[in-house]
């Protein structure tokens, strides 16, 4: 279902949120909490904003029963790729010692 698409993860006290970019619909991003799909968004940033504003569709998170710092930007999520997990917005070494910014 998530073939070769980007996936971002954020671990919270109630579980792991994930945002999956759908390759068959490039303007669709699904927000999940563990194994439950919560909502679909037109961008990864919109999904992050829903988590930040506690408007995800998950009652426990949305009703603020969990007091913890909320991620306010995609750079606070971990981007997973075939090359391995890394924080969004970090640099990775390329061949020849050059670096490439991996901001999404």
- C-beta of residue 6 within 8 angstroms of C-beta of residue 76: no
Residue 2 in any domain: the answer is: no
Residue 43 in any domain: the answer is: yes
Residue 104 in any domain: the answer is: no
What band does 64 get if pLDDT is binned at 50, 70 and 90? Answer: confident
SS3 at position 16? strand
- C-beta of residue 71 within 8 angstroms of C-beta of residue 51: yes
Q: Range of 91's domain?
A: 7-99
Residue 80 in any domain: the answer is: yes
Residue 79 in any domain: the answer is: yes
pTM higher than 0.75: no
pLDDT higher than threshold 80 for residue 95: no
The tokens for 12 are: 């919270």
Overall domain count for the chain: 1
Please enumerate in sequence order all residues whose Cβ is within 8 A of that of 26, keeping only pairs 6 or more positions apart, or say none.
Answer: none
Residue 24 in any domain: the answer is: yes
Residue 76 in any domain: the answer is: yes
d(CA 104, CA 86): 12
Mean pLDDT computed over every residue of the chain: 78
Average of per-residue pLDDT across 14-37: 91
Q: How far is CA 31 from CA 14, 92, 97, in A?
A: 15, 26, 36
Residue 4: predicted pLDDT: 55
């Amino acid at each position: 279902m998530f073939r070769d698409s980007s996936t971002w993860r954020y671990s919270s006290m109630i579980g792991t949120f994930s945002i999956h970019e759908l390759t068959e619909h490039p303007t669709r991003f699904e927000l999940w909490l563990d194994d439950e799909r919560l909502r679909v968004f037109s961008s990864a940033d919109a999904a992050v904003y829903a988590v930040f504003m506690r408007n995800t569709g998950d009652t426990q998170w949305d009703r603020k029963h969990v007091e913890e710092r909320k991620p306010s930007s995609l750079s606070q999520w971990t981007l997973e790729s075939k090359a391995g997990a890394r924080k969004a917005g970090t640099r990775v070494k390329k061949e020849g010692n050059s670096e490439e910014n991996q901001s999404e």
